[in-house]
Amino acid sequence: MIRAVAWNAGAKWATQVFTWVATFLVARLLRPYDYGLVGMAGIYLGLAALISQIGIADAVITLRDLGRRQLAELNTVALLLGIALVLVSSGLAFPIARFFAAPPLRAIIIAVSTTYVINGLQVIPRALLQKELRFKLLASIETVRALAQMFLTLLFAWLGFGYWSLVYGPITGSVISTVLTLCWRRHGFAVPQLGQLYRELRFSGHVSLSGIAWYIYSNADFLVAGRMLGEAPLGNYSLAWTISSAPIEKVGNLITGVTPAFFSAVQTSHAELRRYFLRLSEAIAYLTVPASFGIVILADLLIPTLLGPKWSGVISPLRILGALVAFRSLTTILPKLLIAINDAKFVMWITVVSAVILPAAFLCGSHWGTIGIAIAWLVSYPPVTVPFYYRIFQRVEITPREYLSVIAPALTSSAVMSLLLVLLRSLLPAYLSSLLKLILVATCGVLFYIGALVMFYRRHLSRVSEMFRLLHKKHETPDKTTEKAVEPAPVVGATRSEV
C-alpha cells in the first residue's frame, strides 16, 4: 500500500510544477471572461462527472466474485450511462445557458459532455487495474494524461481558441487516458441482464447517491456564503477553505485513492482490516494533526505576510476551519472502508442525512458571516461522522481505546509543539519582519514536533522506520518476487474509478 501511495503521489506531484506554470501561461493568454464561462459550466458538469465515474467501479473493486459475463454486462452499463449523460446534458444545456444569460455555455456543456462516453469506456478496465493493485501503471497513465492535457491547453490558447482551449484540452486528455488504459486492460461487452445484475446495480446506486449527497453538502457552504453574504465574503471564505483543505488534499486524498482496492482484498479478514485501518489512521494523524495545530497558531501571521492586509478577513474562518483539518483527514478513509466491506447502503444513508444537516447549519451560521459558516462546520460535521466510527468499530472489532492509542502520539506531540510556539511568539522581538517571524516560527514548529515525537514516542517512530526499511528491501528484490508480493488473492471468475 505504501508503494501504491508513493506512485499515486509521484504522479500528482511530478506534474504539479508544470501544472502551475501552464496555468499562469494560459491565464496570460486568456481573459477572465473565458475562465468565468467555463466555471459556470463546471457547476453542472462537475456533478454529472461525479455521477458518471462512481458506483460501477466501486462495485467491481468490492464485489470479489464477479465473473467475466457480469463484468462485460457492467461494461455495457457504464457505456450506456455515459451516453445517457450526454443526452441529458444536451437537453439541459440550453436552460443552463439561459439561466446564466451566457449563450456560449450551451456549446461548451454539449462538447464537454462527450467525455462521459469516452471515460465510460475505461470504467471497468480501470477498476480491474485497481483491483489487481497495478497502481504503478495507473500512475504512469495519469502522468501522461496530465502532461498532454497541459500542453494541449496551452497550445490551443496560444493559437487563439479562447475559452475553447479550456474545453479541448480536457477532452483530449480524456481520450489519451482512455486509449492508454484500454491498451493495457480491455474487457468485452455483453447485453446487460438487469435482473441478474440487481446486486451490482443496487450497490452502484448506493455509492452514486452517496457521491451526490457528498457533492451537495461539500459545496453548500460556498452557495450559502455567495447567496447570503456576497462576493467579497465568499472570496475570503473560499481562500480560507482552500488553505485549510491543502493538507487533506495532499495527504488524505492520496491515501484514499488506493485504499479501496486494498480494503477489498482483505475484506473477509477482520484482523487485516483492523491492521490497515489503525496503521492508516496513525500515518494520516502524524502528517495532518500538526498541520491543523499549525494553521490555528500561524493564521494571523501567515495571511498578512503572504497575501497582504487586504485578506485579513481570511484569518478568523481559516483558524476555525484549521481546527477541523486533522479530523476531516482522519474521516476520509471511513466510508472507503465501509464500502469495501459491502456496507454501501449504510454510507449512503449517513451521507444523505449529512446533506440535510450541514446545509441547514451553514444557513444558520451565515447570520454571523464567514465565521458563522466555519463554526457550522466545526459544530455539525463531527456529530454526523459518529455513526461511521460506531459502525467501523462494530464491524471490524476495534475499541475506541485502540483507535485513540494510534493517534495519541500525533495529538500529544502537536499539543507540545503548540505550547512551545505560543511561548516562542511571545519572546520574539517586535523589530523582526513578519516574513522572518513566519519562517522562524514555522521551522521551529517542525523541530518541536519531531523532538516531541522522539522524546515521548520513540517506539512508535521505530515501527514506522522499520516499515519503510522493509519497503526498501522489497523494492530491491527481483521483479518476479515483487510482483508476487503485491498480487491479490485469486478471484473466482474474472481475472472506483478515481473521481
State the DSSP code for 192: -
pTM of the entire structure? 0.78
Reported as a single tens digit per residue, the pLDDT across 439-454 is 999 999 999 999 999 8
CB atoms within 10 A of CB 275: 13
Q: Crossing angle of helices 16-29/2-14, nearest 10°?
A: 30
Structure confidence at residue 483 as a pLDDT band (50, 70, 90): very low
Q: Where are the domains of the chain?
A: 1-196, 205-398
User: Are the C-beta atoms of residues 47 and 215 closer than 8 Å to each other?
Assistant: yes
461 or 333, which is more confident: 333
Band (97; pLDDT cuts 50, 70, 90): confident
pLDDT of 469 > 50? The answer is yes
pLDDT digits (tens, 9 = 90+) for 254-310: 777 778 888 888 888 888 999 889 988 988 899 899 999 999 999 988 888 887 888
What integer pLDDT is reported at residue 441 of this predicted model? 92
Closest to 129 (Cα-Cα) out of 117, 145, 119, 141: 141
Question: CA 224 to CA 304: how far, in whole Å?
Answer: 26
Position 87 confidence tier, pLDDT thresholds 50, 70, 90: very high
Beta-carbon contacts of 495 under 8 Å, excluding residues fewer than 6 positions away, are none
